[in-house]
Chain A
Amino acid sequence: MRLLTFWLAHRSELAAMTGRHLFLVAVSTLVAVAIGLPAGIVAAHRPRLGRPLLAVANIAQTVPSLALLGFLLPIPFIGGIGPRIAIVALVLYGLLPIVRSTAAGLASIDPAVMEAGVAMGMTPRQLLWLVELPIALPSIVAGVRIATIVGIGTATIAAAVGAGGLGEYIFRGLSMVDSTVILAGAIPAAVLALVADGLLTWLERRLSPGRHPAARATTIAAGVALAAALVGIAAGATASRTPGIVIGSKNFTEQVILGELMAQTLERQGIAVTRRLNLGGTIICDQAIRSGDIDAYVEYTGTALTAILRRPVIKDSERVLATVRDLYGTSGLSVLDPLGFNNTFAVIVRRSDADALGLGAIGDLRKTEAGWRPGFGYEFVERPDGYRGLSAAYGLHFSVEPRVMDLDLIYRALAARQVDVIAGDATSGLITALDLTMLRDDRRYFPPYDAVPIVRSAVVLAHPEVKRAFARLAGRISEADMRAMNSAVDVDHRDVAVTVREFLSR
């Protein structure tokens, strides 16, 4: 029921995302066929070439999709966020089934049929077009069917690189820990896959030997026309997006809220905006703004200093801001004034444990160490101002290796007693909602993480109104405000746009 309400409320967005999804899959499948079909023919005719070819396709298939996007991201031309990189990744995934089924379809042709063809004086080309491909056609279509279905599933990952599609709901839902939103994207994707499966199975059957050549030709023409129409419709739906100022965000609730906040702030001043929210981690957002794929997003000064600029930790927030602003300025990025809250890392435990064991500060954890299971997000484990620095500063040694998990799930894991201590965000709405408590950083280990809008300097120069609009946000959002908005979205499952609108209208 909630799902239906959600779809109704978001129907135009749902249609756009579905169109976008189809566009990504249709384009990538067509490209995969254009590459995979000849490759499959080569693989079947020249096994010596074919074996390494299949091996390459196999390897591409086994790389996890997010990792593949990570590899592709820095590559010039195909890299950068947006649909292009998603399509390249989807093509790589689609290749294997197509190459393999083409090769298998050709290899399974009765040798007597081939011998008859050769002996009756067919040139290799005639043999290929008049005998081999028609006979292998059902097998080839089966490969295209598998590639399409895999593509529909994998295309949900495209949202991580700002290519849109139904994956946006899934990522949004994951970051909100709201299964309704996840299902809002997952169910249409599954329906698409089933429809595609049905259509292509029908096509496969129509193309199997025993149908009249004319009927087969019509079927192929119909299939190609349908695919072209899909690309056309979807491309039209995509092209109708207005460019304007492109706002990005990382892939957790607070970031999405802040992205929406920036977007609505501009829109209130009549400035056109494109949202590229939920882009994945810090590095993806940073690359996106440096390459001009997005124009602005909210970063945290401490993150910028240590994770992006790779500078040593500074504890003074003024000095952090000044340093970051200087260094960003040299690479064409403007750091605007802080929004007001400091989203520092927070070491969080269950309130019941804190009360029972008398935990008030991080240092108190030394009392509990043996058997306590820490759980951290990916970034926290890697960053110099993360786990390593923390254990050094406080002399903490957990006997159990930290569980590494998604930042969004980590609070629930703590509440569910799967882990005992986590590093999270000081502004997380879940801290109060799940009855958790934050330990004091009495040694001032964590550097300040003041939220600041980062805007491309070119945009600031060309559109001074953008900077003026953002200036209205300076100092306006306290930790309590941020925690309340996070809680509204994460805990009460309120709509991000509505939550932001209410905040701005206060």
Chain B
Amino acid sequence: MTDRRAAEPADVIEFIHVRFARGPHVVLDDVRLSIARGEAIALVGRSGAGKSTFLKLINCLLLPDSGVVRVEGRDTRDWDPIELRRQAGYVLQEVGLFPHLTVEGNVSLVPRLAGWSEPRRRERSRELLDLVGLPPREFAARWPRELSGGQRQRVGVARALAVDPPILLMDEPFGALDPMTRLELRAEFQRIRRHLRQTVVIVTHDIAEAFALGDRVGVLDNGRLIACDTPRAIEAASDPRVRQFFSAFPPGLARG
């Protein structure tokens, strides 16, 4: 595995002068960012700062108006979108579990599309449910509507990881949960991360979450990426826009 990866470009995801507009409204402007393999980037910003757009540009749900988004060194315009999306697990705030499939059915759907054999799918989904803290014996046969919000989001994470994609995109993954469940899942995710090799891009409006989950934290403001650095460096930043952004957070508290 290490050998194969060594042959690949070091930066899994690159944003090069990316601009994206919806009509007259510029959502992202001149965004530049390189994300290294295995790195976890957390993007923060107010609602409407362009966070979700950033993610959708990676898995080709959107294409940039100008500039280039490269995944694995290839322009997203040149990727087959279906193939690209299979490389990138996607976790969204509303989870979007398939209501007509069981927990196991949800987790093993992508492996099914990828043509995995039934026993292999079963084994993988059990393994993942264990990983996200849902004992398969109890949860595999349950229906999404029988789960709590936190349990649903755990299934969402397991589903996104099903075929072990090199990239994991998370859009406000814990945003709809109550504060206790949120803290619990955040801790859980930090634990899971130790078992994973994925490059993770997580967007959130919760600064504490960003600081807790990101190796680097990026700050999106009005469509521009005004900072991207380690949590410690961000905290110490002198840029007034960044300072203003964190003014509501006493230092240390942000660490969660």
Give me the interface of A with B, judged by CB distance under 8 Å. Answer: 110, 112-123, 126, 130-131, 134-135, 137, 209-210, 212-213, 216
- Is residue B249 contacting chain A, with contact meaning CB distance below 8 A? no
Majority secondary structure of chain B interface residues (helix, strand, loop or mixed): mixed
- Residue from the list A118, A131, A134, A210 in contact with B85, Cβ < 8 A: A118
Given A110-B99, A121-B113, A209-B100, 18 more contacts at CB 8 Å? A110-B94, A112-B94, A112-B96, A113-B98, A114-B96, A115-B61, A116-B159, A118-B61, A119-B169, A120-B89, A120-B90, A120-B110, A120-B113, A121-B84, A123-B82, A137-B100, A210-B100, A213-B105
8 A-B pairs closest in CB distance: A116-B96, A112-B96, A112-B94, A121-B85, A119-B90, A121-B86, A209-B100, A209-B99
Pair A130/B86 contact, Cβ less than 8 Å? no
B101 adjacent to A213 (CB under 8 Å): yes
Nearest-Cβ distance from residue A484 to partner chain B, whole angstroms: 68
Interchain CB contact under 8 A, A126 and B98: no
Listed A/B pairs (25) with beta-carbon separation below 8 Å: A110-B99, A112-B95, A113-B97, A113-B98, A114-B96, A115-B92, A116-B90, A116-B95, A116-B97, A119-B90, A119-B92, A120-B89, A120-B90, A120-B159, A121-B110, A126-B113, A131-B100, A135-B99, A135-B100, A209-B100, A209-B143, A209-B145, A210-B100, A213-B100, A213-B101
**A210 nearest CB neighbor, chain B only:** B143
Q: A118-B61, A126-B113, A213-B105 are in contact. Are A134 and B94 (CB under 8 A)?
A: no
Q: Which residue on chain A has the smallest CB distance to residue B146?
A: A210
| One of B85, B98, B143, B145 near A119 (C-beta < 8 A) | B85
* Total contacting residues, chain B, CB less than 8 A: 32
CB-CB nearest in chain B for A123:
B82
The chain B residue sitting closest to A124, CB to CB, is: B82
Q: How far is the CB of A420 from chain B (nearest CB, A)?
A: 66
Query: Would you call B97 and A121 a contact (CB within 8 A)?
Result: no
Q: Could you say which residues of chain A place their CB within 8 Å of the CB of B110?
A: 120-121
Expressed in whole angstroms, the Cα–Cα distance for A116 and B157 within the complex equals: 12
Interface residues of B (CB under 8 A from A): 59, 61, 81-86, 88-90, 92-102, 105, 109-110, 113, 143, 145, 156, 159-160, 169
Shortest distance between the CB of A198 and any CB in chain B (Å): 24
A118→B60 CA distance, assembly (Å): 10
Report Cα–Cα, A194/B153, bound state, in Å.
43
Given contacts A126-B113, A209-B143, contact A120 B85 (CB under 8 A): yes
Docked-complex contact B113 and A113, CB < 8 angstroms: no
Residues of A within 8 A of B102 (CB): 212
CA distance A118 to B105 in the complex (A): 17
Bound Cα distance A212, B61 (Å): 31
CB–CB B99/A116 < 8 A: no
Asked whether A115 and B109 contact (CB < 8 A) given A120-B85, A123-B82, the answer is no
Cα distance A119–B89 in the bound complex, in angstroms: 8
Contact between chains at A210 and B98 (CB < 8 Å): no
Residue of B whose beta carbon sits closest to that of A110: B96
* Minimum distance in angstroms from A476 CB to a CB of chain B: 71
**B230 shortest CB reach to chain A, Å:** 29
Q: Which residues of B contact A110 (CB under 8 A)?
A: 94, 96, 99
A235 CB to nearest chain B CB (Å): 35
Q: In whole Å, how far is A373's beta carbon from the nearest beta carbon of chain B?
A: 62
Interface centre among B90, B156, B169, by most chain A C-beta atoms within 10 angstroms, is: B90
Most buried by A among B96, B99, B160: B96
User: In the complex the two chains form, what is the Cα distance from A110 to B98 in whole Å?
Assistant: 9
Which of chain B's residues have a CB closer than 8 A to the CB of A116?
Answer: 90, 92, 95-98, 156, 159
| Minimum CB–CB distance for A122 against chain B, Å | 7
Task: A20 to B143: give the CA distance in the assembly, Å.
Answer: 43
